[in-house]
Amino acid sequence: MKRYQLIDHTADIGIIVYGNDLPEVFSNAAYSMFDILTDAEKIQCKEKLELQVTANSVEELLITWLDELLFRYETERLICNQFSITKMNDNSLTAIAFGEKVDRSRHDIKTEIKNVTYHQMRVEKTDSGWEAQIIFDV
């Protein structure tokens, strides 16, 4: 199963993320966000970041999760490509993200993401697993 696909969206970047379950969708959403920023395959797992987020719905939880990772990128220049969701329900998530600080000699920043939006956000169970649609403001 592929992790994500880009979708056409005027002025912003849209993706559809896939997973066998919700934790995999959340992991793949985070991976895709960093893959849009830079080539996620070039990120080395040198640092570990423990995160806990809460929200009122699964859609809000996905946005809060991605916002927290984006905040860490913006403030600490931390980029990640592996994620272990250790505990999750519709309103909270505990996870470990693995990555490293941006190294300009190895990481080209392709697209700066300003924000994760609520526009056209959806998280739903499908016949083949789970998927989420996310629009990033760039």
Question: pLDDT (tens digit, 9 = 90+) per residue, 22-46?
Answer: 999 999 999 999 999 999 999 999 9
Kindly report, residue by residue over 68-79, the tens digit of the pLDDT: 999 999 999 999
Specify the higher pLDDT residue, 11 or 93. Answer: 93
Task: Tell me how crowded residue 116 is: count the other CB atoms within 10 A of its CB.
Answer: 22
Span 4-137 CATH architecture: 3-Layer(bab) Sandwich (3.55)
Instruction: Provide mean pLDDT across the span 9-21.
Output: 92
pLDDT attached to residue 10? 78
Q: Write the pLDDT tens digit of every residue in 76-104.
A: 999 999 999 999 998 999 999 999 999 99
Place of tokens 């490509």: 81
Phi, psi of 58 (to 5 degrees): -65, -35
